[in-house]
Structure 1
Amino acid sequence: MYTLLTHPNSLFGQFDRLQRELDEFLSSGLPSSIRSVASGTQPQINVGRTPQSVEVYAFAPGLDASKIEVTLDRGVLRLAGERVQAASSNERQRFYARERATGRFDRTVSLPDDIDPDQVKASYRDGVLLVSIARREAEQPKRIAIQ
C-alpha cells in the first residue's frame, strides 16, 4: 500500500532522505568543496573527483543531446534541458502511475577552486551525460631562502 508517509516528496520522505544524506556525508569523513542540490531532483547526478578531474554524471535517458545545455561559469556547472512527455497512441489513456519526470530541468553543481575551466569535456552516451572538468596541478609550497 502506498501512503503519504513513504512518498519521497512528503515531509517524512524528505526527512528520511536528509538523514540518509547526512549519514553518508558523515561516514565518508572527507570534507568536500563540491556542492549540489539534494537528491530527488531530476535528472539524478553523481559527482566525484580524481586527482586529475572532477566527473559529473547525469542520468538522463531519452533526451536529445543537442537540446541539453551545459555551461560552466565561475566554478558553477549548470545542466539544463527539457524532457518531453512521450506521445501516447491513445489520447484518452489514463495513467495510474507515472514515475518518469517530464518538463524542464536545471541542475547546478558548485565545483572546487582547483578546476581548469578551459579543459571541460562533455559526452552523452546510453542516456548518461558525462561532464569531465580537469583539475589544475596542486601548487607546492614555495621554499623561501633566508638571507
Structure 2
Amino acid sequence: MSDFYYRPDLFSELDRLQRHMSSLFGGHPSSLRSSRAGAFPSLNIGTTDNSIEIVAFAPGIDPSKLELSIDKGLLTIAGERAATRTSTQEGERAYAQERFSGAFRRVVELPQYADPDNVQARYVDGCLVITVGKREASKPRAITVQ
C-alpha cells in the first residue's frame, strides 16, 4: 500500500512530502547553505580581496568560553551558552523557550586559498568576527601587457 494518499488540501500534502524528504537528506549537510535550520550560531560568510570574513551571531556568550580551531581546511567554532532565567518566582514554569542554551559546535569548510596561519578573531557586540587571510598566490594582481 502506498504512503501517498489523496487529500483535498494539496498544499498540506506537499508540505508533508517536503518534511519527509528533508528528514531523509537533512542529516548530513554538504555546505553552509544546506545546514540544518536553527543551527547555532547563525553565520554570514563573505570574502574580500585579501581575506575571508566569517561572522557568527552569538549573543550572550562569554568570549573566553569560545574555542576556535582550524584543521585540514575546516574551521571549528565551539562553546557553550548558559541558560538564562528571566524570573525566579517559585512554581513558575516556562511554556515556550526560543533562545538556545547549551553546548554548540559549528564547522565551516574553508576554500583552498585560505591561509590557516593568518587568522584573527574578535568578539564585538555579540558577534564573533573571524578573518582568515588568503594565500598570496590566490590574491588578485594586475598584469601589465607588453
TM-score w.r.t. length of structure 1:
0.68
Match of 1:123 in 2: 122
Q: State the alpha-carbon separation in 2 of the partners of residues 74 and 46 from structure 1.
A: 21
Give the structure 2 partner of residue 53 of structure 1.
51
1:101 pairs with 2:100: yes
Spell out, residue by residue over 1:39-76, the C-alpha distance to the aligned partner (whole angstroms, 9 max, x if none). Answer: 42011111111121111111010000000001111110
Larger Rg: 2
Structure 1's 139 and 66: CA in aligned 2 closer, same or farther, altered over 3 A? closer
1:134 is the counterpart of 2:133: yes
Tell me what 1:24 maps to.
none
1:78 maps to what in 2?
76
TM-score of the superposition, structure 2-length normalised?
0.69
Distance 1:123 1:132 in 2: 9
Q: CA contact under 8 A between 1:35 and 1:111: conserved in structure 2? A: no
8 Å contact 1:65–1:124 — kept in the other structure?
yes
Letter in 1 for 2:61: L
Q: Secondary structure at the match of 1:113?
A: coil
Partner in structure 2 of residue 44 of structure 1:
42
**Most deviating of 49-58 and 91-100:** 91-100
* Runs of 4+ with deviation above 4 angstroms: none
Q: Where in structure 1 are there 5+ consecutive unaligned residues? A: 6-10, 19-33, 141-147
Taking only aligned residues, the RMSD between alpha carbons, in angstroms, comes to: 2.6
Distance 1:129 1:89, change over 3 A: same
Q: What count of residue pairs does the alignment treat as equivalent?
A: 114
Q: Which amino acid aligns with 1:115?
A: A
Pairwise CA distance, 1:139: 7.4
Relative distance call for 1:119 and 1:139 in structure 2 (3 A) is: closer
Percent of pairs with identical residues = 41
